[in-house]
Structure formats: C-alpha cells, structure tokens
Amino acid sequence: MQIETPSKKSISFEDFKTEVLKDYKTAVTSRECSLLGRREVLTGKAKFGIFGDGKEIPQLALAKAFKNGDFRSGYYRDQTFMMAIGELSIENFFAGLYADSSIENEPMSAGRQMGGHFGTHSLNEDGSWKNLMLQKNSSADTSPTASQMPRLLGLAQASKIYRNVDGINAEKFSDNGNEIAWGTIGNASTSEGHFWETINAAGVLQVPMVISVWDDEYGISVHARHQTTKENISEILKGFQRDEENKGYEIIVVNGWDYPALIEAYEKAAEIARGSHAPVLIHVRELTQPQGHSTSGSQERYKNEDRLAWEREFDCNVKFREWVIENNFSTQEELEKIDQEIKKQVRDGKKAAWTAYTQPMVKKQKELLPLLINAAESSGKKDAILSLKNELAEIKDPIKKEILIAARKSLHYLIGSNSDAKTKLIAWIDAYTSGSQRIFSSNLYSESNQNALSIKEVKPTYSNDARGVDARIILRDNFDKIFETYPETLIFGEDTGKIGDVNQGLEGLQNKYGSLRVADTGIREATILGQGIGMAMRGLRPIAEIQYLDYILYALQTMSDDLATLQYRTKGKQKAPLIVRTRGHRLEGIWHSGSPMGALVHLLHGIHILVPRNMTKAAGFYNTLLEADEPALVIECLNGYRLKEKLPNNFGEFRTPIGVVETIKEGTDITLVSYGSTLRLVEEAARDLEEVGIHAEIIDVQSLLPLDINKDIVKSIEKTNRLLVIDEDVPGGASAYILQNILEVQNAYLHLDSKPQTLTAKEHRPSYGTDGDYFSKPSAEDIFEKIYGIMNESDPEQYPALK
C-alpha cells in the first residue's frame, strides 16, 4: 500500500510506519527522561532540572529536516531534538543532570553547564577542526535567554560566505553554502532585544536561518499578555513576510501537537532556506509544559485549572499517540508495550549513569580511608581524625568535595607532627586536588599548539629610506596583505565597507575584495559580535568591528556570556577564533573617549584583550591572531590614526607577541606601567622628569589579558624600587587589576621602597572638549607631579617639594 506522506514523496506504508514508530519511541524516551529527571532532583541526587517535556513533537520534525553540516543554536528545551539526531543518549541525559565531570559520560559540557545545555564536538583532541560536514552540529548553549540569537546569525551567514566567496577551503565546513542554521527560542524570550536585532539582521542579510519559536504561552509564570504585543509573535512579525517585490522572511505558523503538519512545515522551511538562503520563522503554537517550567517551582501557582486541563489534552505526546492509533500505525496494546519497554530502558540508563558518575569517587573514598586511619595513628588527636574518617565512610556516594573536606580537615589535627602517614596523606590530597581542579578549570583559553601565547614575535623591518606615514596607512596595507593571504578572513561593521572604516584603515579594500568580505553592517553591535562568533565556529576568520570602544557595551553580553566562555563551557570542544577590532581610549566627549578597561578585563576572561600603543603594534597583533585559534579584542588608539609612524616593509609577517610587555624607556628611579594612548603622555612626562634628574623606566603592558606572562615588570622594580601604574580608566579599574598582578603574582612588594600607586582618570565619564579631557583624564602635568611627589617623599633633599 502507498500512502501520501506529509513529505509528499511516496514511500511505502511500512517504511513510513517504521519512521513514525521510531519517532514515537524517541518522544516517549525523552518524556520519560524528563519525568525521571524531575524525580532525581526532588530526591536530591541532582541539583536542578529543566526539561524538554511538552516540546517533543516539533523537535522530531526539526530533526528530520536537519542535515549533516547544519548547525543548531538553541536553548534548554531541545533534548528531544538532540536525541533524535543521535547526539544525546539516556545516559548522557542523566550524566548532565548529575553534573558528571567526565566528558565521555557528559559530552555536552563535562558537567560545567546545567543539564539541558547542549552542544556537539567540533574539535579533535588536539584542538583542530573535525569535518563538520560529516556530523550534525549544535553550538553550545548558554543560559541567558535569547543569547543564542546573535550567534545564530553568524552560523547562518557562514553558508552565504561559503556559497559566494571564492578560494576558501570549505571541505570541512560547507557544501556550497547549503547548510542551515536552525535556531530555537521560547516565546517569552522573543521579548529580548537580541531576538529583534537578529531577526532584522537576518532579513537584511538574507541568510539560511530557520528560527523556531516554541510557544507555550508562558515564560516561567509570566503569561504572553505581558510578553508579546497581541500575544502573538508571528502576527506582529508579519511585516517581515517576503513577497514578490521584497525579500524578507517566510513565516510559518503550525500547532506543536500536529505531527504531519510539523513535518511539512519543517520540510518547507528547509527547502526555502537551503535553496534561496531566505530566512524562515516557524511559530510553533499550542505547546505545553507537563511538569511546569523547571524543578524550582510548581506551575499550579500560576496556571488555573482550565489551562492545566487544556495542557493535559493538548500535550503533544498525547496527541501524537492518538494520531498514531487513528492512522493505524500501531495499536493501544502495542504502544503500551513500547511504553513499558522504554520506561525500563530509561530506568536502566539512569542507573548506569549514576554508577558511572559515582564509581570514580567511591574509589577515591576507599583509597582515602586507610590513609586517614594511618594518619590518625600517628597523631596526638587520633579521635578527631577517626571521626572525620567515620563520617566519610558513612557517605554512600560521596562527591569530591566531601572526600576532600575529610582529607584536608584532618591536616588541621596533624599540625606540628611529622610522620610517613602524614606525608602520604598530603601527597594524596595534592594529587587529587590538582587533578580535580583541572577538571573544573581547564580550557578557559586554547590549549592547542595554536594558542595565541605560542605565536612568536616577528619584528617589523624597515628599508633604509622608510618614510613616516599616517599610521592608518600601516593598518590598511597590513589588512590588504591579510585579505590577500587568508581567503577565509572577512571584516564587517558600521562604515567598515564602502568608506573603509571611519578612520580609513580599510580604504579601498572593499573594491579589491568585494562587499561580502569587507562589509557594512547595520548599527547593531550585539549581532555584529554574533556574526563573528557564528562564522568563526564554522571555520571562517571573521574580524568584527565595533566602531568605538564606548559602544562595545551593546555587545558585551554576547562577548562575556558567549564568546568568552565558549572554550571553557565545552571543555575545549568548540572554538570561535574571532577577532574583535575597535578603537578607543582617548578622543573627546563622554562617549568617544571611554576606556572602561577594568570592566572589560573583569567580564572577558577567556578573550585576549590587547591594547597596542600604535598602529604598527596593532597590525602586528592582527598578524599574530590569524596564526592562532583564539578570540581576542584589539583596541586601537582612537587618537593615533593621523600620527606618523615609520612604514614597515614586511606587512602580514611582523607579529606582536601576546602577553609580553615592552620597556619603551629605560630608567633607574621609578617604574611607570601603562598602555595605549596614555603612554604618549607618560613619555612626555618622563622627558620633563629627566630635566629635573629623575630617570623613569616606562613599561608598555601591551596586553591586559593575559598580563605580563614573563613577569618582566618585577624585574624593573628590582632595579627602581618604585612603581606607578597610570591609565585612563576609573580609579580602581584596570590600574588596580595591573597592580594586583604586580604585587601579588610577581611579589614586587619585596622590592618596594615607596608605596605602590595608581594614577587614573576621574570617577566620572570624560567631559567634552580639550579642557574636559584635561580635567577628566591624567595629563602629562598630573603624571609629572605624581612621580615627582613620590621622589620628593623618598628623598626631600634631592627632590625638594614642587609646591
């Protein structure tokens, strides 16, 4: 018998039945995991649970349309999809719930993320790319609602670049740009700015992005009437609908319990997005939450009985089951049998996951107990140690923390004693602690041999008659060389394309390399960043330009939550070697001369933050970064583009090392540490100080994250015995961060004869105009006086008071 399937392709009834029953089993497995998962939390075996129950059926349809090479960028409801594409087993699901820190057991994040945060592995053990065309890909989820959206745009845009830019080796990443980036988002999260920014940008860019809105009418307890105009996201997006005259979106509305309609919707969406690269929005309505939002609350508090009854009736699994029986794919009895088998499978999988999670720690517990007994024997406080031991022995499935508490506390009772048993105990504690610490702290930065710190310095070279040119020329000629050498590089931002950026560091390059590689974007910093992240995750080398440093705050959430955590949250299984280019520090006015470096340093651990003092240094950083596999933020000096710099003759080759400081003036009396635009003022003050007999040594840190990896600053302080850190951030900002490193990491306090100090901008934003700048930021006079004051205090006879 032949039937007309939703795919409109005629396949045999038997084949279709097999597929339907496979889907049924996945839906039931997923639901059973959710039900048991909640129990695991309520009985205390897991901390928190957020599950995909009530969203199963549309995810089966999505999985059918999802092909190798495609990417998902979604959120915590998508367990059924992950199961359907074969990337999440029952054991993996429970390992995630328990926070199992083994990447083999918990491949999503090695227990670093809450359960329900999904990702696949893009990288081999050595950090190199896998062939992403041979697998189904999911970018690693983040918890902030809608934070998946900016990245989704870039994942989709990569297909457009691969389809339309020649010369890129796409083998591992694309087949002529046929890949779709599939987004998922909850109805309530469409209230976020990131959603709207991404929707508009994808419409403008016309990229193969299919975004599904899972609409269950609620965002935790808050109903759609408080979230969405007209309580209907597809209704209010109607203006985006494409038509004969205008490009735009295809918008599809479908009920989340209607299996055949869903399959048809997803097939249609895939055809449009793959073929024409038009974005598609699928509004999946009438979804439910059988167990409520998460384990931290109960929906009976905010849903009335009518709503709860409706949800029971329209539960997508219930409806699917009815459809399966009505259409003779199976019988009530057969399905009951399947249900029972699956219940058992899930129970068994759960048990296996618990055993795999707990066994290594039980082993450690067993190892430790005799060590504690021996240590007790050698201690004057035997009973205290034995009682710690007994408490530990009674714990059935101990976690690392409980084991280490017993071990480490026992050392309190061994202070002053010496014994073989104590030595053995200490060695055991140290080994277990450091091994465990790595489990939780590795991979913040790249650990491959392409990590940025391993790229060695290459100095710029100059011909004998090298002229001084406007510094922006150096950037431009270096970018030219970069685009010529690396076909996979592209740069985009506000005014980046046609005019070649506001300071013309890219002058003429759009004409040369085309408007896809040197591109103008809308004014939308978060999605400029997201474009970069997504494209970098698919093998391209994007440079995302943020026009001014002050405006990076719009992109900061995406940088901090997504880009900076990517390597860490996947334990090195995904990477986005994105370069973010911006310009800042000093010009004029509250929003064109900010230097919020402390804030950035604090929020962006995981990204290298580079602060070149001139454009040759900046160009050298770009060259270094393109050899590396890590993200970085490069802040050019806003007031430096028209200053003269000598023209190098090895463009594309010279490399500024990352994390290495440079002494730019030698001196014996005091060490001055600074970076970026401020250095020119520090140099000016230092020249004036020479005239009064003070010889300052100036160190340019060049790189704030990481900072002075060779600990060179302390070597200078050993000589000068005095330290002043100068910058344009607020008091206690980046200068305090630098000071902490010098004093605590480099132990410079051992060599200081004067109080270490900082000189910073005022607490407020810099006021407009030349005088505004003079009274807001440290001036050469401020710097001179501060240093003179330090010298006067140390030797008033040699340096009599200035005032």
- Applying CB under 5 A, which residues contact Mg ion? 186-188, 216, 218
Q: Which residue is nearest to ligand TPP (CB)?
A: 186
3 state SS of 796: coil
Element (H, E) at 251: strand 250-255
Tokens 């450690």, located at residue: 364
Strand partners, 635: 582
Distance CA 336, CA 316 (A): 17
Sole window of 114-122, 183-191, 585-593, 609-617 interacting with ligand TPP (rule: CB under 6 A): 183-191
Q: Which residue from 25, 144, 338, 516 is in contact with ligand TPP, where contact means CB under 6 A?
A: 144
Nearer to Mg ion, 137 or 145 (CB): 145
Residues 473, 460: Cα–Cα separation, whole Å: 15
CB neighbour burial string for 612-633, b if at least 16 within 10 angstroms, e if fewer: bbbbbbbbbbbbbbbebbbbbb
702's torsion region: left (phi>0), alpha (psi -120 to 50) or beta?
left
> Rounded to a whole number, what is the distance in angstroms from the first to the last CA of the chain?
102
Residues 722 and 696: their CA atoms lie apart, in Å, by 10
> 706: cis peptide before it, omega within 30°?
yes
Dist. CA 259–CA 268, nearest whole Å: 14
d(CA 364, CA 375): 17
- Judged by CB, which is closer to ligand TPP: 219, or 497? 219
Of the two residues 307 and 382, which places its CB atom closer to ligand TPP in the complex?
307
Distance of closest approach, residue 189 Cβ to ligand TPP, in angstroms = 3
Among 5, 138, 139, 189, binds ligand TPP (CB under 6 A): 189
Nearest residue (CB) to ligand TPP, 218 versus 266: 218
- With CB under 5 to 8 Å by kind, the binding choice for 143 among ligand TPP, Mg ion, none is ligand TPP
Q: Does 581 bind ligand TPP (CB under 6 A)?
A: no
Of 11, 21, 204, 220, the one binding ligand TPP by CB under 6 A: 220
Residue list 74-103, contact with ligand TPP (CB under 6 A): 77
Q: How would DSSP label each residue in 359-376?
A: HHHHHHHHHHHHHHHHHH
Choose the binding region for ligand TPP from 184-192, 269-277, 613-621, 642-650 (rule: CB under 6 A): 184-192
Least separation in angstroms between residue 253's CB and Mg ion is 16
Does residue number 214 form part of the binding site for ligand TPP (CB under 6 A)?
yes
Q: How far is the CB of 460 from ligand TPP (least distance, A)?
A: 44
Cα distances from 372 to residues 388, 420, 525, 734, 761, in angstroms, run 8, 12, 57, 46, 55
Window of 180-188, 319-327, 457-465, 577-585 that interacts with ligand TPP by CB under 6 A: 180-188
**Residue 211 near ligand TPP by CB under 6 A:** no
If you ran DSSP here, which 8-state letter would residue 241 be given? B
Q: Which does 144 bind (CB under 5 to 8 A by kind): ligand TPP, Mg ion, none?
A: ligand TPP
Binding piece for ligand TPP, criterion CB under 6 A, among 138-146, 259-267, 309-317, 521-529: 138-146
User: Quick one: tokens of 241?
Assistant: 């609908």
Active site residue 602: no
Instruction: Write down the least CB distance from residue 281 to ligand TPP, Å.
Output: 15
* Contacting residue, 187, 503, 521, 616, with ligand TPP by CB under 6 A: 187
- The answer to whether 668 touches 649, Cβ cutoff 8 Å, is no
User: Could you tell which of Mg ion, ligand TPP, none binds residue 676, using a CB distance below 5 to 8 A set by kind?
Assistant: none
Q: Is 188 in the site for ligand TPP (CB under 6 A)?
A: yes
Could you say which of 592, 602, 605, 695 is catalytic?
592
For residue 566, give the amino acid letter: L
Q: List the one residue from 87, 216, 700, 727 that touches ligand TPP (CB under 6 A).
A: 216
Q: What is the CA radius of gyration of the chain?
A: 30
Q: Which of 16, 71, 162, 218 binds ligand TPP (CB under 6 A)?
A: 218
- Is the Cβ–Cβ distance between 586 and 693 less than 8 Å? no
Q: CA-to-CA distance for 63 and 262, rounded, in angstroms?
A: 11
Residues 254-293 that bind ligand TPP (CB under 6 A): 293
H/E segment holding residue 390 = helix 382-394
Structure tokens at 200: 């508009």
CA distance 403 to 205: 54
Least distance (Å) between residue 216 CB and Mg ion: 4
Residue 189 touches which of Mg ion, ligand TPP, none (Cβ within 5-8 Å per kind) = ligand TPP
Whole-angstrom Cα distance, residue 283 to residue 252? 6
Counting residues that bind ligand TPP (by CB under 6 A) gives 14
Residue 186 binding ligand TPP, by CB under 6 A: yes
> Which range, of 215-223, 357-365, 516-524, 685-693, touches ligand TPP by CB under 6 A?
215-223
Binding site for ligand TPP (CB under 6 A): 77, 143-145, 186-189, 214, 216, 218-220, 293
Q: Which residues are catalytic?
A: 592
